[in-house]
Amino acid sequence: MIVACIQMNPVIGDKPTNVSRSADLIRSAAERGVDLVVLPELANTGYVFRDRQEALDLAEKVPGGETTAVWSELASRHQTTIVAGIAERDGDNLFNSAVMVGPKGYIGRFRKVHLWGDEKKIFEPGDLGFPVYQAPFGRVAIAICYDVWFPETFRAAALQHADILCVATNWVPMPGQPADRPAMANTLVMAGAHSNNLVVACADRVGVERGQPFEGQSLIVDRRGWPVAGPASRLDEEILFAQIDLDPSSRRGVGADNDVLQDRRPEVYAGIANLRS
């Protein structure tokens, strides 16, 4: 299968522009016959909300909102699957979500489990766990940005037999990050993929929004954790493409007698105070 990660630069608050731009980029990716397109976190609204009210005014029902309808129509027309970040409103609750739509319409959603910075003042923490959805090409798990700081995210995907983890993200620079180093997020993603025998496809945003710079460096890594596309640039909109073999027969251990999932020792972990609770 072919996966595309769209690195784009949404404009805060300008939903029509963002959705239109996302549609242009999805169409560009679709010309290459991709099976899966991943877009950044909060791709339809931008990220740095002034307050909860600004986010509430921009958020939509998922499914049922206009952005999901546009993306769904594109997935259907181009016979592809799209995973994209979206501000979700559910009654009085707001979630930093990602929606997954396929050739036949709405498939499912993910709500960011680990909230970053001011998100804690704006969004409810995700209450759906880490669902895994069936797509035509395989099993798909979803994470958003700070979720990949937590190894449990990758474990949740792998232990539920996901083939690929889609990461919709708005990575920001880490404190103390050396200027000459790739984003720590790239390291976290490579490690998470390697330790879980899991393909990971990350679509980040670029640009500066209300003073907040973003990292770019979107990345697609194979089951072994090695980059197969990207990292993309730090500054520019860009589409990454990677051909990935998700067939179970292509799965290989890290050694002749070693498989990172089979070699886990849950009976040992069970004895560690606080690891489970």
Residues making contact with a second copy (CB under 8 A): 113-118, 120, 125-126, 129-130, 146, 149-152, 154-156, 159-160, 172, 174-178, 181, 184, 187-188, 190-192, 194-195, 224-226, 252, 254-258, 260, 263-266, 268-277
- SS3 per-residue string spanning 254-272: CECCECCCCCCCHHHHCCC
Q: Which is nearer to a second copy, 69 or 261 (CB)?
A: 261
- CA–CA gap between residue 54 and residue 50 (Å, rounded): 6
- CA–CA gap between residue 220 and residue 199 (Å, rounded): 8
In 3D space, the residue among 145, 107, 149, 104 whose CA is nearest the CA of residue 123 turns out to be: 145
Q: Minimal distance in Å, beta carbon 176 to a second copy?
A: 5
Report the relative pairing of strands 208-209 and 227-229 from DSSP bridges.
Answer: unpaired
Q: Which is nearer to a second copy, 80 or 96 (CB)?
A: 96
CA 125 to chain centre: 16
> Which of the residues 88, 112, 119, 209 is marked catalytic?
112
> Which of the residues 5, 15, 41, 215 is marked catalytic?
41
Q: Which is nearer to a second copy, 44 or 96 (CB)?
A: 96
> Which of the residues 5, 15, 88, 145 is marked catalytic?
145
Q: Minimal distance in Å, beta carbon 175 to a second copy?
A: 7
- CA–CA gap between residue 243 and residue 169 (Å, rounded): 21
Q: Please confirm, yes or no, whether 145 is among the known catalytic residues.
A: yes
Q: Which is nearer to a second copy, 92 or 272 (CB)?
A: 272
Q: How many residues does the chain have?
A: 277
- DSSP reduced 3-state for 59: coil
Q: Minimal distance in Å, beta carbon 213 to a second copy?
A: 14
Q: Minimal distance in Å, beta carbon 83 to a second copy?
A: 20
Instruction: Point out the residues that are catalytic.
Output: 41, 112, 145
